[in-house]
Homo-oligomer: A and B are copies of this chain.
Amino acid sequence: MSVEDRIRESFARQTMMATLGARLERVAPGRVVITAPVLETSLQQHGTAHAALTFAIGDSAAGYAALSVMDPDVEVVTAEIKINLLAPARGPLLTAEGRVVRAGRRLVVVAATVSDPTGDVALLQGTMVPVSRPPR
């Protein structure tokens, strides 16, 4: 199974991604793009996208960017991630681009940028941990 296929399969198992309407748009080595519409069901109290939506696609794009450079028998989990929110996130579509900053054997440092049609709305920096792929 190719790296992209593994990532697509993993993405498809994340029911949260379907709940948010997120799509895996592009997989390249060390770089993954995920988009999500700002659904009526994903809003915060002022009518813009909830930070959890921005976080969800930023964290996932960063995590899959890490996975894209791992061996096939490895999965990754988020150890920690920080998000700086730069501006209110408005629809119709948010785009998260995750990238690998440094891939070590035990830790992968990642970053992601989330943007809406007007520009960047969030910046994330975090750490992914490779773990043995659990048996299916």
Chain A residues at the B interface, C-beta cutoff of 8 Å:
10-11, 13-16, 18-20, 40-46, 50-53, 55-56, 59, 75, 77-87, 101-102, 106-107, 109, 111, 120, 123, 125-127, 129, 134
Given the interface pairs A84-B79, A85-B79, the reply to whether A43 lies near B55 with Cβ below 8 Å is: no
The DSSP consensus for interface residues of chain A is: mixed
With the chains together, A123 CA to B82 CA distance in Å?
12
A120 to chain B, nearest CB (A): 7
Whether A14 contacts B50 by the Cβ 8 Å rule is: yes
A48 to chain B, nearest CB (A): 10
Closest residue of chain B to A113 (Cβ to Cβ) is B101
Closest residue of chain B to A130 (Cβ to Cβ) is B106
Whether B79 contacts A51 by the Cβ 8 Å rule is: no
Given the interface pairs A59-B52, A123-B101, the reply to whether A80 lies near B83 with Cβ below 8 Å is: yes
A78 to chain B, nearest CB (A): 5
A6 to chain B, nearest CB (A): 11
A114 to chain B, nearest CB (A): 13
Contact of A83 among B15, B81, B84, B85 (CB under 8 A): B81
Given the interface pairs A14-B43, A59-B51, the reply to whether A80 lies near B77 with Cβ below 8 Å is: no
